[in-house]
Amino acid sequence: MRTKFIMHSGARTIGGVICSVIYGHDRVIFEMGSVYDPEADIHDGRIMPRSRAWVQDAIRAKKAPAIDGLYRRHDLDGFNGLIPAEESDLNTAVFITHLHLDHMSAIGMVAPQIPVYMHKNAILIERALEATGDGVQTLERTYTSFTENVPIHIGAIKVLPIITSRRSYCDFAFLITTPDGTIHWTGDLVLHGEDAPLTFEQMEFLKAQSIDVLLCDSTGFMDQILLQMTDSTDPKAIKASRDIPKGMLDRNDLDLRIFKALEQQKGLCVINFYQREVDDARKYMGWAQKLARDPVFEPDCAWIIYQFFKMAPYIFIPDSPRYPNDPGKQPAWFKELMSICTVVKREQIAENPGGYLLQNSYRHILELFDLPASGSVYLHLDGMPHGEFDPAYQNLIKIVRNTGFDYQTFFRRNYFGHGYPPQVKYFVDQVDPKVLIPCHSFNSERLLPNHGVQLLPVEGKTYVLVNGALL
């Protein structure tokens, strides 16, 4: 009996890392997300998911992995010869590092009898998102929580969740141990800002374990990041260092720049941030208080804040059928929110635009036409759409400028949310695994090991762990 390893996806894409570790009849699958590629996404906002075949269509479109024993018989209906969960002899569990869609967008498709493990904060936020219709499409199923540094045994396989961020949903790495050795997945690797100490603690812990296989996030090894730091994309030119590269920012520096931009504004400040990062909402609320502004949120975002922090923020109600005036037609979550929150109206914002910090999502961006634009700013703070690779991003900029708002963003130059290449190289050199699998990147081959072997797996191929090597 040997440990088997399969990388189903994510070897050369940003996001969508899905892997299986199998020992005998026990199986651990870590991550169930999909590649974030809006340009190629068949669900473009106009195509509606089919009711009966939505799981099959997700597999066809590579939004979910084609893995035996993972989906219900009812949802497969004989599709592609996949074995349903009901007929599988594998003892399977799914583990999710954090709540970004490229790590967990397909969790709702997993057969309900298969446990899906996430941190309790991630479960809470996902359930809040599902209530408003912004969560993952899902069967009626439960999620199982894990606790940091408390191992979970799936038969002969042990999974140790290692915390890498305590913000919002919390981020984790997974150390997976079988009778044949160790396989570690870093999850999203961040070595700057407030999360850096936890990542360096992870590094020191792994050094002491003598890791066999390290799957490492190497997102930052793309051209646009390397060329901001140096004039070369040669991986041999990347010198390992735990320090932030010269000219680049950490998250604390970035936050200072954003706060100063808000501080300089006299008119209305509109922000677009990623609503899953609910700790960011609390941060912006604190900033607003310092600047004598009232923070105001759209109902969907306010619901997450209410569920997570048990506080009732001010809300602004966009002109949308999502928010019916008739109480009899209001969904339960919205009705509860209306009963506890204070509504800020357009007229109030128009009378005192400098007194508000307003959260706006892309789907309600046309609200800007009815808001005071003179002296006002729209700050894109890594909300949807995320960047130039999304066709909707240029449309967002066009609409903002047509409304007369000043457009500003802080996430495109001199900052990157994952580890900078010299820092990632330092992490890998210190851990010094026998086998390094760079992944979660368009340029995985650029992350080189110190003494071990670099493996760029063929997706879908089975490898066997023997004496610390994957064969």
Q: 149 pLDDT band (50/70/90 cuts)?
A: very high
Domain encompassing residue 437: 3-225+417-470
pLDDT digits (tens, 9 = 90+) for 101-144: 999 999 999 999 999 999 999 999 999 999 999 999 999 899 99
Q: Residue 6's pLDDT is what? A: 98
Average pLDDT, the chain: 94
CA-derived radius of gyration, the chain: 23
pLDDT, tens digit, 9 for 90 and up, residues 194-223: 999 999 999 999 999 999 999 999 999 999
Share of the chain above pLDDT 90, in %: 87
253-274 as b/e: b if 16+ CB within 10 A: ebbeebbeebeebebbbbbbbe
Nearest to 103 by CA among 150, 39, 170, 181: 170
Same domain for 423 and 405, yes or no, is no
Cβ 216 vs Cβ 11: under 8 Å: no
223-252 pLDDT, tens digit per residue, is 989 998 888 899 989 999 999 999 899 999
Q: 186: helix, coil or strand?
A: coil
Identify whether 278 is part of a domain.
yes
* The pLDDT of residue 40 is above 70: no
| Residues with Cβ within 8 Å of residue 470, at least 6 apart in sequence | 5, 213, 435, 455, 457, 463, 464
Q: Does 244 reside within a domain? A: no
Average pLDDT of the residues in 173-180: 98
Q: Note whether 186 and 55 are same-domain residues.
A: yes
Question: Which CATH number does the domain housing residue 190 bear?
Answer: 3.60.15.10
- pLDDT per residue as tens digits for the range 287-300: 999 999 999 999 99
Task: Please give the Cα distance from 277 to 279 (Å, whole number).
Answer: 5
Q: Where are the alpha helices (DSSP H) in 133-170?
A: none
Q: Which of 266, 256, 252, 211 is nearest to 376 (CA)?
A: 266
Final residue before a domain boundary, out of 357, 382, 409: 409
Strands 269-273 and 213-217: unpaired
Identify the pLDDT of residue 44: 62
Same domain assignment for residues 405 and 421? no
User: Is the domain of 54 the same as that of 145?
Assistant: yes
DSSP single-letter state for residue 318? -
Give the chain's domain count: 2
